[in-house]
């Protein structure tokens, strides 16, 4: 067994409150996020509890969960407890929970009812994958470009703090990161804003992070960036199910996540784990993208292009069907896509003359439209939930 939302809920049903009942059945436990050996939860108490009462209850929760986990040989690496008021704002943090802000940011009039956790940003979409090398960053960049081409205000955050790819994919080599009044100023390139850790460190320096360091680096990227007003913020996550997705889920209100997968079975296995991670963290999975779905060759003597199903086209789509998830589209690969990525010119992927024909532009446009549709559905569903619940 592993540390999970269900385990925490079952354990805290045994913990009685001084006012009667337990944390779960009384509704005091508002939010749980758990992944591997790390967990964070939020509690709302009636009235206006003082700091001592919250500290004592947090210690009791910590002791209870760790004792039950030890009895079942479940590892607990980090456990944080946050207390929220009736509006859902964090008023106190204990253990390994993120520190509560001294003041809540002003509400943005363009934000949805739920908000995103970043002032001025309407929708946050995480792009993740169960393994590296499936083209997650390529999908993130082209999704941002496609949404921007549709008239949306878009930001792109390179959350892959272990191997940031945006400096290359966006052609940022000649640009310097600037800071104004303590805030990172995003690069405005290709019609959208972008921030990447890759422009703040030596490009040849290996980025070696322990858990708390990864947590802090990622938080600084989104908290200290002057995003302005955005319709969409796309977050390109590192591969796998580590600290960054957990930090993101417990700190931000995501509209949803997009999972990238290639067609072959070995990639599907890891993609399923990524889907389950997002679901366990309470993040809506907007759908699955099949990248490198097929290879588009150069036109032959007859002027017709040929396609080759190198990795077994359709595998990710079948996986999405098995999991009951929307299939957002297939993105092919060709020489032009590789060349445009290496040269940092993603907009060329939307022009038939520079993308090897109509196939790639049509696929990317379809992907963006499907994501827009799923975001609309997810926002409608979230608007029906209580404002104090960001993950349930």
Q: DSSP per residue over 194-229, as a string?
A: EEEGGGSS-TTS-----HHHHHHHHHHHHHSB---S
| pLDDT at position 36 | 66
| pLDDT at position 20 | 72
Neighbours of 117 (CB within 10 A): 17
| pLDDT at position 100 | 41
Output the CA–CA distances (angstroms, integers) from residue 85 to 115, 169, 242, 299, 371, in the order listed.
Answer: 16, 43, 29, 62, 33
| pLDDT at position 32 | 80
Q: What is the DSSP string of 57-81?
A: HHHHHHHHHHHHHHHTT---SEEEE
Give the closest residue to 129 by CA, choosing from 262, 218, 323.
262
Q: Rounded distance, CA 256 to CA 232, Å? A: 11
Instruction: Kindly state the DSSP code that residue 111 receives in the 8-state scheme.
Output: S
The rounded average pLDDT for each run of 10 residues, N- to C-terminus, in the chain (392 residues) is 81 78 83 75 79 84 88 86 76 66 37 59 91 90 94 90 85 88 89 87 57 65 88 88 70 90 89 89 92 84 79 89 93 93 95 92 94 87 49 42
| pLDDT at position 204 | 60
Neighbours of 388 (CB within 10 A): 17
| pLDDT at position 148 | 93
The Cα angle at residue 127 between residues 122 and 128, in degrees rounded to 5 = 145
Neighbours of 201 (CB within 10 A): 13
Domains belonging to the chain, first-starting first, are 5-95 (3.30.300.130), 121-383 (3.40.50.300)
| pLDDT at position 97 | 53
Q: Rounded distance, CA 368 to CA 151, Å? A: 12
Q: Which residues contact 154 (CB under 8 A, 6 or more apart)?
A: 144, 147, 148, 191, 192, 193, 230, 231, 232, 233, 234
pTM tops 0.75, yes or no: no
> What ranges in 77-210 are assigned the alpha helix state H?
136-149, 166-169
């Amino acid at each position: 067994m592993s540390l999970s939302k269900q385990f925490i809920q079952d354990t805290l049903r045994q913990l009685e409150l001084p006012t009667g009942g337990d944390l779960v059945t009384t509704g005091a436990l508002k939010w749980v996020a758990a992944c591997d050996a790390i967990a964070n939860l939020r509690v709302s108490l009636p009235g206006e509890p003082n700091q001592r009462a919250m500290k004592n209850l947090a210690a009791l929760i910590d002791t209870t969960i760790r004792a039950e986990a030890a009895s079942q040989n479940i590892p607990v690496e980090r456990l944080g407890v946050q207390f929220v008021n009736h509006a859902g704002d964090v008023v106190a943090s204990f253990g390994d929970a993120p520190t509560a802000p001294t003041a809540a940011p002003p509400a943005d009039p363009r934000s949805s009812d739920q908000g995103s956790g970043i002032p001025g940003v309407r929708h946050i979409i995480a792009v993740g994958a169960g393994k590296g090398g499936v083209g997650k960053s390529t999908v993130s960049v082209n999704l941002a470009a496609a949404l921007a081409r549709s008239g949306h205000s878009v930001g792109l955050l390179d959350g892959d703090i272990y191997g940031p790819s945006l400096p290359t994919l966006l052609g940022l080599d000649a640009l310097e990161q600037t800071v104004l009044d303590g805030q990172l100023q995003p690069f405005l390139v290709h019609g959208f804003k972008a921030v990447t850790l890759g422009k703040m460190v030596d490009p040849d320096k290996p980025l070696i992070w322990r858990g708390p360091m990864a947590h802090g680096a990622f938080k600084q990227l989104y908290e200290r960036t002057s995003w302005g007003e955005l319709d969409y913020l796309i977050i390109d996550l590192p591969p796998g199910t580590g600290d960054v997705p957990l930090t993101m889920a417990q700190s931000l209100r995501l509209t949803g996540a997009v999972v990238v997968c290639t067609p072959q079975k070995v990639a599907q296995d890891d993609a399923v784990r990524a889907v389950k991670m997002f679901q366990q963290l309470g993040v809506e999975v907007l759908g699955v993208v099949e990248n490198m779905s097929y290879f588009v060759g150069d036109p032959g003597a007859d002027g017709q292009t040929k396609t080759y199903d190198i990795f077994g086209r359709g595998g990710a789509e079948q996986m999405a069907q098995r999991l009951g998830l929307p299939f957002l589209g297939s993105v092919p690969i060709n020489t032009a896509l590789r060349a445009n990525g290496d040269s940092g010119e993603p907009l060329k992927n939307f022009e038939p003359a520079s993308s090897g024909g109509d196939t790639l532009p049509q696929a990317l446009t379809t992907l963006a439209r499907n994501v827009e549709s799923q975001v609309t559905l997810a926002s409608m569903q979230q608007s029906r939930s209580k404002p104090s619940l960001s993950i349930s």
